[in-house]
Chain A
Amino acid sequence: DADVTQTPRNRITKTGKRIMLECSQTKGHDRMYWYRQDPGLGLRLIYYSFDVKDINKGEISDGYSVSRQAQAKFSLSLESAIPNQTALYFCATSDSNRGPETQYFGPGTRLLVL
Chain B
Amino acid sequence: QKEVEQNSGPLSVPEGAIASLNCTYSDRGSQSFFWYRQYSGKSPELIMFIYSNGDKEDGRFTAQLNKASQYVSLLIRDSQPSDSATYLCAVRFPLFFGTGTRLTVIP
Contacts and interface: CB of A to CB of B under 8 A. Distances in A.
Interface string A8-33: 00000000000000000000000001
Interface residues of A, number: 21
A44 B43 contact: no
Q: What's the dominant secondary structure at chain B's contact region?
A: loop
Nearest to A105: B43
Contacts of A40: 8, 99
Contact of B43 (A58, A100, A101, A108): A108
Q: How large is the interface on B (under 10, 10 to 19, 20 to 34, 35 or more residues)?
A: 20 to 34
A85 to B, nearest CB: 19
A80 interface: no
B44 A41 contact: no
B94 A43 contact: no
B75 to A, nearest CB: 20
Given A40-B8, A108-B43, A45 B96 contact: yes
Given A33-B95, A48-B94, 20 more contacts: A33-B94, A41-B99, A42-B88, A42-B97, A42-B100, A43-B44, A43-B88, A43-B90, A45-B95, A45-B96, A59-B96, A90-B44, A100-B49, A101-B32, A102-B34, A104-B46, A105-B44, A106-B43, A107-B43, A108-B43
